[in-house]
Each structure stands twice: as structure tokens, then as C-alpha cells.
Structure 1
């Protein structure tokens, strides 16, 4: 849905109430007004669609052990956290951003650690995982800046919000599980083969491939 800048005259008292509610929800005045008008006219905005997908995603994440859903201030962003079974149990953060148009969105994975050895091992796992996806689902778009690993999600036009929310939640859960097993097996040949076999089995069960 396109957006434009409009100049409107409003009562000071109403603006004060609008700002108060916007502050409570952690959004701007414009976003809050957009939500109120959308609800009044029963129109689903891009942000509302994203919120619906995140709500479904949160429900599924709640069923996975070791994962915690974290609300974000932006209506287009959400995050999931887990603890990696490694020295000091560093936090792995999965940040999901949904786009209003084009690709469905992107997943950014980061680790709260400055350990060069750990970051190097993570980079090796990212490389392995990219090769795994290319082998079984084809080319995807990735990015890595030495700290954050990014995976772009393809938009599936026929998928429902329920399917997309579940697909994103399962993607994060599967990735986190593969990562944990990779470190538990010290990246050995045997553990790589085990992860690949599990990946193939999981792909057969999925309705939506991001």
C-alpha cells in the first residue's frame, strides 16, 4: 500500500490522546493514526499483515524448546533468541524483517560474542549451510559482514499468513538445531552428514520453501 504525506488539521486534545497511545505502543504518530484509520475502515495494511504473520510465528516458536520470541518496536520486525551450547553459552539472535513488497523479508543472524575462534566456526557453519540449501532448494540470496549472516526469504504468492508464519518459525528452529548439533559434533564429517540427512527429511515435510 503506497504512502504519501498529508497536511490535516486536528484537535489538540485528540492529538494528545493519539500521541499517548502511540507512545504506549512504541510507534510514531503517523503509524498510530494509520492503524486507527485501518481498523475503522476494516482495511488490512502491510504492517497489519506483518503483525499477523509474526503472531503466528510467535505461537509456533513457543512450541520449540530453547527459543524465545522477542517483540520489536517496529511492526515489520521481530526477533528470536537462543543460547548456543558453547563456552559461556553466548546468545544467538535471529532478527526477522518483513518487506511490504518484493521479497518476503530477510533473516539476520548474529552472535553476542567476541571470540575469534567462535566467530570463525560460525563462518564455517554458514558456508556449509549455504551449500546445503543450494544443493536442495537452489540459489538464494545471502550476505555476511563478519558479524551478521543474512538470508533473504522469497515471497510465496499463494501462501497464507498462517503458512508463512509457520514456515519462518520452522526455518529459525531448524537452523538453530542444526547449529547446535554442528557445535556439539565439532563440525566433524559425521555430524555434517547427519545434519544433511535431517535437513533432507525436514524439507519433505514443508509446504512452503522460503
Structure 2
């Protein structure tokens, strides 16, 4: 959606109210006015589409997930408890792109823990997950699967297949399924942490079942 500069004459009281609301929504005055006008004329903006996608993702998440307050229309955070000592929390942060062609969004996975042992195990899981992605999806990405790993963190970019028109439901289902699969695999990996080979095999089997369902957003 292209944007241009326009001059508007507005009452000071209206601008003050708009600014207060924009601040509470972590957005700009111009963006909020654009959204209000778009809704008035029933025009679908990227921000509105993002909100609808996030609402659908939230509906897809089962009871083990908890949605956190959204810092902006373009972002959503979900957390899930890990069945492990110290009771760490897994956090999934989703950031959507304004243009849903090409790069659809980015997922950041992180953990709140100070345990070096736990961080080491998480890094081992992320390395396993990265190997699975490279094994099954590398042929789709000429420059490699778009992920990054750091200490206790994993980042993954999502892309729409070329020349595809994805619906909000397509995007929500794809991202929701990816998060659900990863979360289940993390739980499975830690449930079998005493036997690393068994843990790796079970995670691989679960990931393969996920792929067989069909992947819309890569």
C-alpha cells in the first residue's frame, strides 16, 4: 500500500486525543489516523490484516500457550512452559512484514534462564532443528535456510512460495503449526534428554510428520 503526504486541518483537542491513543498503541499519529480512516471506508490495511492473522494464530494455540501483550500491530509474543527443572519459559515472538509477498515474517525463539546447563541443552536442540531444516528444506533456498542461532536463541524467517496469494488463514495456520511443532519437539527433546540419540530420533520423526502435512509458508 503506497503512501503520500497530505495536509489536514484538525482540531487541537482531536490531535491531543489521537496522540494519547497512538502512544498507548505504540504507533505514530499518522499511522493511527490512517488506520481509523481505512476502517471508516472499509479498506483493509496491512495493520488490520496483521491483527487478523495474530487473532487467528491465538485461536490455533492450545492451552499450553499463553499470549502476551502485543507491543505493536506487527508483533505478537507467545510463551510456553518447559517441563524441566527451574521451570523455564519458552518465548515465541512473531513479527510480520507489511508486504505479504516474499518475506512474510520472522520468528524469534528465546528462553529466560541463567542455567548454563539448560542453555547448553537448548543450543543442542537448536542445532538439531537447524540440521533437520537444512536436510529437508535446503533445496528450496539457494542461499540456505534463513535461520540464525545464538546462545539460547533461534531466529527463523518465513517466505511465501513464489507467485502465491496467501490468505490470512494460510499464514496463520503455517506459522501456528510451525510454532506448535517446534514447541512439541522441544518438550520431547527434554523429556528424553538422558538419551540424546533417542531424543534426536524422536524429534526427527515428529518433524517429518509435520512436513508431511504440507508447508505453505517456508
TM-score by length of 1: 0.90
1:12 and 2:12 equivalent?
yes
Aligned residue number for residue 214 of structure 2? 206
Q: Which runs of 5+ in 2 are unaligned?
A: 139-143
* Conserved? CA contact 1:67–1:173, under 8 Å: no
Q: How has the CA–CA distance of structure 1 residues 122 and 113 changed in structure 2, closer, same or farther, with 3 Å as cutoff? A: same
Q: Which runs of 4+ in 1 moved over 6 A?
A: none
CA shift, 1:155, in A, is: 2.2
Tell me, what secondary structure is at the counterpart of 1:104? Answer: strand
Pairwise CA distance, 1:20: 4.0
Number of equivalences:
208
| 3-state secondary structure, aligned to 1:92 | strand
Aligned to 1:120: 120
Residue 137 of structure 1 and its aligned partner are, at CA, apart by: 2.3
Deviates more, 1:131-140 or 1:179-188: 131-140
Q: Give the secondary structure class of the aligned counterpart of 1:71.
A: coil
Tell me if the contact between 1:27 and 1:73 (Cα under 8 Å) persists in the aligned partners: no
> How far did residue 55 of structure 1 move?
1.0
2:200 maps to 192
After TM superposition, give the deviation of residue 79 of structure 1 in Å: 0.8
The Cα of 1:65 is off from its aligned counterpart by 3.4
* Alignment root-mean-square deviation, CA: 1.9
> Could you state the TM-score of these two structures normalised by the residue count of structure 2?
0.87
Q: For the Cα contact (< 8 Å) 2:105–2:159, is it kept in 1?
A: yes
Shift of 1:117: 1.3
1:49 aligned counterpart, secondary structure? helix
- CA deviations on 1:30-86 (whole Å, 9 max, x unpaired) are 22111111112222111111111111111101xx23111223121100011011112
Give the Cα separation in 2 of the matches to 1:106 and 1:126.
16
Contact 2:106 2:155 in 1 (8 A): yes
Correspondence for 1:93: 91
Aligned residue in 2 for 1:71: 69
Uncovered stretches (5+) of structure 1, i.e. residues with no partner: none
68-77 or 10-19, larger mean C-alpha shift: 10-19
